[in-house]
Amino acid sequence: MNHYETVFILNPVLSDVQVKETVKKFDDYLVSKGAEMIHKEDWGLKKLAYTIQKKKTGFYHLFEYKVEGEAISPFELEFRRDDSIMRYLTVRLDKHAVDWAEKRKARDKATKN
């Protein structure tokens, strides 16, 4: 199983309930494909670097998970089919990126406490 990280941006016109439902839909999709969810983050509403679909903000979310490589292409197809997703990016993490992600999570946890 490979280690992946996906960041996706949801349309800012969605309600909180719609955002949660959409995130849960993609979480459930990954789990149904045999993924092991390692970490999820809700980065909230953020200003975009450039306008996308005439929008200047979006709800950012991050998933960190392990799954077989064959599951990524259908997962990204689901993103393309969903109108509430403005952008997404999936990257495969090597051992250095995994270490960095662990340090980032520890740092974020320390700043929240």
CATH number at residue 95: 3.30.70.60
Give the range of the structural domain holding residue 68, as residue numbers without chain letter. Answer: 2-112
Q: Convert the pLDDT of each residue in 7-36 to its tens digit.
A: 999 999 999 999 999 999 999 999 999 999
Work out how many domains the chain is built from and give that number. 1
Q: Taking the model in full, what pTM does it have?
A: 0.87
Residue 14, CA distances (Å) to 3, 6, 17, 77 in order: 30, 20, 8, 21
How far is 92 from 1, CA to CA, in rounded Å? 11
Q: What are residue 37's phi and psi, to 5 degrees?
A: -75, 125
Fill in the DSSP letter of residue 84: T
Element (H, E) at 65: strand 55-67
Distance of CA 110 to the CA centre of its chain: 22
Residue type, 75: F
Q: Convert the pLDDT of each residue in 32-63 to its tens digit.
A: 999 999 999 999 999 999 999 999 999 999 99
